[in-house]
Amino acid sequence: MAKDRKPGNGATQGGATRAGGAGGGKGGGRGGRTRPPTQVVAQQRPWGLIAAAVVVALFAAAAIGYAVVKVNKANADKVTSIDDIAGVQSYDYPAGQEHVDTTVDYAESPPVGGPHAPPPSWADCTGTVYTVDIRHENAVHSLEHGAVWITYNPDDVSDADIATLSALVENKAGRMMSPYAGLDSPISVQAWGHQLKLDSATDKRIKQFADFLALNDAFTPEPGASCENPDFIANPLLAGQDSPPVGSTTPSSPPAAGSGASQAPAGTSAP
């Protein structure tokens, strides 16, 4: 009698089926595998260098701005024409004025041109500060050489004012300064054919006048003439005195004590 066969093939097929299922599962695993997430590392910014660069840029901008302001301020006080200086009075005194030994009754006070002391008796104008009212005729000769002459009324200015004015003269070629008795304003500044009267020693127009007109060939009857006269520094003639005859001056000598003038260092004379 034949025995019924056990479904061995079915088991095998089932196994195959399971294997296939397993294989399918395995295959499915291969097809669905995911890669681990990539870690993104953010690049660090060099904040220190950036901050340093910003600081340098700000410093440079500030320095440039400061320089521009200083230049603009300096240029704001510069003049390119005598008309830029308010209050300047102009007078017509042609070159070739007469040389005289006597005192002159000038139309302007202080004088700005006209007859004057003969050579070599101009007042030294190499940055010289006189403490006496120098002879006006000698001062006018210096104006003819291109000097600027700062005068002040000793009754109307203080010691501080005199120091302020002296700083505009000392060590500066083509400039001189002296008191002027009876001056109708505290301060008056002269060049050949030009005059400016002021009330304050700190008025910026004094410097503008001196800077623009001192040794300015366009306003000087004798461009290039000397401003140096050590004899006059040593023994300055006083206002109202007659000039000694030509040729009677003493040999060049250093300023005498109490002579009434302070001499600028060598090398400050005009050409």
227-244 per-position pLDDT tens digit: 999 999 999 999 998 877
Q: Where are the domains of the chain?
A: 87-243+255-262
Q: What percent of the chain has pLDDT over 90?
A: 60
Listed range (1-15, 108-122, 155-169) with the worst mean pLDDT: 1-15
Q: Are 112 and 94 in contact (CB under 8 A)?
A: no
Q: What's the longest Cα–Cα distance across the chain?
A: 180
- At 206, list the tokens: 């004094």
* The pLDDT of residue 32 is above 90: no
3-state class (DSSP) for residue 178: strand
| Sequence-ordered list of residues with C-beta below 8 angstroms from that of 215, at least 6 positions apart, any chain | 146, 147, 173, 174, 227, 270, 271
Shortest CA distance to 124 belongs to which of 221, 262, 246? 262
What mean pLDDT is predicted for residues 242-266? 54
Cα–Cα dist 190/207, whole Å: 12
Per-position DSSP letters for 102-120, written without gaps between them: S----SSSS--SSSBPPTT
Instruction: Report strand pairing: 89-90 vs 194-198.
Output: antiparallel
* The pLDDT of residue 74 is above 80: no
Paired with 151 in beta bridges are 178, 188
- What pTM did the predictor assign? 0.69
Q: What is the pLDDT of residue 28?
A: 47
Q: Are 268 and 126 in contact (CB under 8 A)?
A: yes
Listed range (4-13, 16-25, 101-110) with the worst mean pLDDT: 16-25
